[in-house]
Each structure stands twice: as structure tokens, then as C-alpha cells.
Structure 1
Amino acid sequence: MDEARHSPNPSEITALRAELPPQQGNTGQWGQTSQDKTWKYLCFFVSLILLLTVIILSVILSEVLKRTQQVQEKVLQLNEKVTQGLGDAGHDRDFIRSEVFRQMKAVLAGNESSCEPCPLDWKFFQGSCYFFSLDNLTWTQANDSCVQKQAHLVIINSRTEQVGHVES
């Protein structure tokens, strides 16, 4: 027994080869069964499908991000337009307010027209300004005088219009 426990001399080493009984099923090279190969192929195809899925999702995600950025740019543009529109509306409101005050001032001054107040020495009546001249002129001379004042020579037939001017 002592001899069996002693360490072998390198020149005394012999090789042993053992034959293993074959496993059930077909064995391929390296002792793999066809079931092992099936699992390897299945894992390979599942990995390939997962890789393709990741690639496809990456492409879709990049498109979604691009469209999101485009939508954000459009939202910014619309915000700028709304801000500009609100500013314009504020200016319009201020203009309308000043116009209302101007109209009120004209009404209080006795000139109810929507135009500028009548010039000095002119009389306002029912939306028009009238100038009464005390000069004794012919029709042609009176018409020329009106043209110089950028006005029209009129004949007043209405008693109300005649009285309104005299009382003003």
C-alpha cells in the first residue's frame, strides 16, 4: 500500500483513456445532443430578435424625438404670435379708449361728429360743420370762397337747420 501512495515518477506516467457510454439521443461533435443544439439555435434566434427589436425601437425613438422637437418649435412660434397678438390687442384697446374719450370730449364741446372738431368760427349741426359768412358775395364768389376753405356752398332749405345755426 505504501507503494500506491508514493508520487509517480514522470517517466512512469501512463495515459488512460476511458470510453464513455453514448447518451440517449443523437450525439454530435463534442458530445452535444441535438437537443443541446436546438437550445443554442433557439437562444441565438431569440437574441437576434431582441437585437432587431432594440434597433427598431431606437429608430422609432429618434423619429419621435425629432417630431417632439418640431412640435415644441411650433408651440414656441405660436406663443410668440399669441404674445404679439396680445400686444397688438393692447395697442388697439388703447387706441379705442383714446378715440372714445376724444368723441366724448367732442360731444361735450358741442360737436357730435365722428370727425375732428369744427374749425374756429364754424358751427356744428347734425354731423356737419357750417360757416356763415356775413360778406355780401355773388354765388360765384361765395363758391370760390368755399373751395378755398375746402368746403361746399350749400343752400339751407330746412327751417330746423336754419334755426339751429342761428341759435348756436
Structure 2
Amino acid sequence: MTHTRTGNISTVPRAFSRTDTRENTIPHQSHFVFSKLLLALLLMLFLLKEILLSASFTTFFQKNSQLLEDKNYKRFIKETIHTNLECVRINLTMEGKVGSCCPKNWKSFSSSCYFISTDAKSWNASQENCSQMEAHLVVINSKEEQDFLPQNMDKTAASFVGLSDPEGQGHWQWIDQTPYNKSATFWHPGEPSHSEERCVLVNHRPTSAQWGWNDIPCKDHHQSVCEMMKIYL
């Protein structure tokens, strides 16, 4: 009689312990924390770079603006007789320009500077005087300019302007060749009145209580108004 032994083989599943789970999780957590730290560090470095660049640009701009102003001023001094200027800062709409200036004791209006000369001279001598100051007798182009001038003038005086009629034929012309525009003139009533009165001055008439133009002989002596373009540095 043959006996057959049957053996039961049991399979026991592997149980994962809590220790195994923690060991698998820790590397993932460490990688996540490291990534966050690295990202924060990169962000801080980027912000620091931007701050340094901004500070460097501001310093560069300030130094170069001052240098540009100094260079322009020194070059201007070499090329002009006006060494004492009064300037106003402007927006940098004009490349390389930092301020608009007029010589000291000149009046500023729009894009020009004006000087009221109290020396009584003929029209030709007045123009020569303006020319020596790198200017010319004033050319009045608008009512605003006409209204501006009397604000700085004596009502009891009269001042030559840059308008004349060299031939006495009624062909009025401005000293800087600006076309004479009849629709933008400011003659007193009844003026111009005489073909021998070929030069123009601006004065105040008590009878009308207004400022206006009057033609007179060019050899007469009066004050004058000089005009020059503003200086941009």
C-alpha cells in the first residue's frame, strides 16, 4: 500500500508597514520643499537684479543729464556774449535739451526773449544795438505778443519795433523778412499817416487808452524792443 503525502503550500501576502510608507513619502516631500526654496531664491535674485538695474539707470541718467547740461552751457558760453542766463526746466521732448533760457534781465514769452532798451536811438542805431546782443528789433506776429509787450513798457515812452517801409511806398517789411500780414497789424486809428514816416514804434495813446503802432521818421530817437529766440541747453 502506497501512501501519498499531500502538502498544503500557503501563500502569505507581504504586509507593508507604516515605516515603509514614510520612507517612500519623504523623498517626494523633500523634492517639493527644495523646489519651492529654489523658486523663491530665483525670484529674489530677479528682483534684486531689477532694483540694481533701475538704480544704475537713474544714476547714469542724472550724471549724463548734468554732463550734457554742462557741455551745452560751456559750448554756448564760447559762442555767445550772454554769459548770465535764467533758465526754466523743460520736459525732454527735445533730444538733449534740459532747459529753456533767456539772458538775465530779458523777458520770456512763448519761444522768444525780449529786452526793453531805455536808450533813445534812431531806428537804424536801435537795430544795430539789438544786433550786437545777437537779437533784432521785435517782430510782432500775434495779438498775444502785442498784448505782452506793454506789460513791460512805460506808458510815457515809445519803442521802435522791427517794421519799416524803406522806400516810402507803403511796402512794409519786418526786419527778419517775416511777411507783412495786414490782418495781423495793430496800427493806431489813422496810422500809418505819412510817406516820409518810414519806421514804426509802439506806444500808448491816452486819448484811446490803448497801445498801438505809429509810423514816424526813422531818424527820430526813441527806446526800442529787441527780440531773440530762446536758448535751449
Structure number having the greater strand percentage: 2
Structure showing greater relative contact order (alpha-carbon pairs closer than 8 Å, 6 or more residues apart): 2
TM-score, normalised via structure 1 length: 0.44
The structure richer in helix per residue is 1
| Structure having the higher Rg | 1
